[in-house]
């Protein structure tokens, strides 16, 4: 299996005090941990980050990554240059502190020859909870400071598309910035400010509650939208635009455990204990029948092979997302046998 254009996802904290209603990780926030780096983990992360086949390094968390900026900046410093980093955040810091964070991030990536995109959550769940909103402020920072290594984009969930459009244009207006929205597809808008373009990407709603109004993308609609975007069938792994092959999608948890994104049945190692590199991770992927099936066969084809279709259908409706579906299905004894035997 050829794999190119990997995505390395590093969850640097489980701590968060924001309290979004829909948060999937709320149970971890009070007792959770933040990542710390050991000598071996620094060596491992440097090896993983500096591999040419890596297309992007995304820093996020099962909490708010601004709660561990020290480790974020340490991770940036491990790069040998030419890398694209991304930082996914609610942007909740008071603005003076956010300026310090942006300045320091820009200083590091610029001196290393890297870039970092700051992806700000812009859905109603976050907006109602965050006192210091970073959206207009960040584009104002961009205009005033012109950081050479930073860019900005926005993210939301598909149910909030109209909210997000209205919120962003009004919030930017408060900062004296005139913006328009251009729709690019079912999962993408573009915020247009003069000659500049800022992406807005939409994820589908995971675990819709009983009272959620209809109109959100169901899991099959979400998969179809992803397939239209990349012009190929949806499999697990980091999807690249056709005709480029896909890459590995690897997540490192705050405690250092390493998984393929969405496949948490098999821990591939721990960055504090094991020597890690991409060929080793790829070998582990190929040796795991479930991961191999999910990486090589279109997901909707795999679903047709499962027994107990009524049970599977009810779980799909409840979960509404392919990655969370797999997490759920592995809890049901024997249900994934068909994939593991493939």
- Which residues lie near ligand SF4 (CB under 6 A)? 16, 18-20, 23, 25, 63-64, 90, 126
- State the Cα–Cα distance between residues 243 and 245, nearest whole angstrom: 6
Closer by beta carbon to ligand SF4, 14 or else 79: 14
Closer by beta carbon to ligand SF4, 69 or else 90: 90
Closer by beta carbon to ligand SF4, 19 or else 309: 19
- State the Cα–Cα distance between residues 323 and 305, nearest whole angstrom: 17
As measured in angstroms, the least distance from the Cβ of 206 to ligand SF4 is 11
Query: 276 near 44, Cβ under 8 Å?
Result: yes
Q: Which of 40, 58, 37 is nearest to 49 (CA)?
A: 58
As measured in angstroms, the least distance from the Cβ of 29 to ligand SF4 is 7
As measured in angstroms, the least distance from the Cβ of 328 to ligand SF4 is 19
Closer by beta carbon to ligand SF4, 22 or else 175: 22
As measured in angstroms, the least distance from the Cβ of 164 to ligand SF4 is 15
φ/ψ bin of 118: left (φ > 0), alpha (ψ from -120 to 50), beta (otherwise): beta
As measured in angstroms, the least distance from the Cβ of 16 to ligand SF4 is 3
Query: 330 near 289, Cβ under 8 Å?
Result: no
Query: 90 near 127, Cβ under 8 Å?
Result: no
Closer by beta carbon to ligand SF4, 124 or else 151: 124
309 HSE (CA, 13 A, CB side): 5
């Amino acid at each position: 299996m050829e794999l190119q254009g990997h995505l390395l996802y590093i969850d640097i904290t489980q701590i968060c005090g924001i309290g979004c209603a829909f948060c999937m990780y709320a149970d971890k926030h009070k007792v959770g941990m933040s990542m710390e780096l050991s000598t071996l983990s620094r060596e491992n992360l440097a090896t993983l980050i500096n591999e040419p086949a890596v297309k992007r390094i995304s820093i996020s968390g099962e909490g708010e990554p601004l709660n561990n900026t020290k480790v974020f900046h340490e991770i940036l410093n491990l790069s040998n240059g030419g890398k694209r980093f991304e930082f996914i955040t609610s942007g909740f810091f008071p603005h003076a502190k956010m300026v310090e964070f942006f300045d320091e991030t820009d200083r590091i990536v610029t001196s290393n020859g890297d870039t970092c995109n700051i992806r700000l959550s812009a859905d109603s769940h976050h907006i109602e909870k965050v006192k210091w909103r970073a959206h207009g402020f960040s584009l104002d920072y961009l205009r005033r400071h012109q950081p050479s290594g930073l860019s900005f984009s926005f993210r939301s969930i598909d149910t909030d598309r109209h909210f997000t459009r209205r919120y962003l244009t009004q919030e930017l207006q408060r900062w004296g910035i005139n913006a328009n929205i251009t729709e690019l597809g079912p999962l993408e808008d573009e915020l247009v400010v003069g000659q500049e373009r800022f992406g807005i990407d939409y994820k589908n709603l995971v675990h819709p509650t009983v009272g959620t109004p209809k109109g959100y993308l169901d899991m099959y609609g979400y998969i179809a939208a992803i397939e239209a975007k990349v012009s190929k069938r949806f499999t697990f792994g980091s999807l690249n635009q056709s005709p480029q092959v896909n890459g590995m999608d690897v997540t490192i948890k705050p405690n250092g455990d390493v998984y393929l994104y969405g496949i948490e049945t098999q821990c591939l190692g721990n960055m504090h204990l094991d020597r890690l590199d991409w060929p080793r991770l790829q070998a582990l992927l190929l040796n795991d029948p479930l991961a191999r099936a999910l990486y090589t066969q279109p997901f909707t084809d795999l679903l047709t092979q499962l027994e107990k279709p009524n049970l599977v259908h009810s779980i799909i409706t409840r979960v509404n997302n392919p990655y969370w579906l797999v997490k759920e299905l592995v809890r049901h004894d024997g249900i994934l046998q068909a994939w593991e035997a493939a």
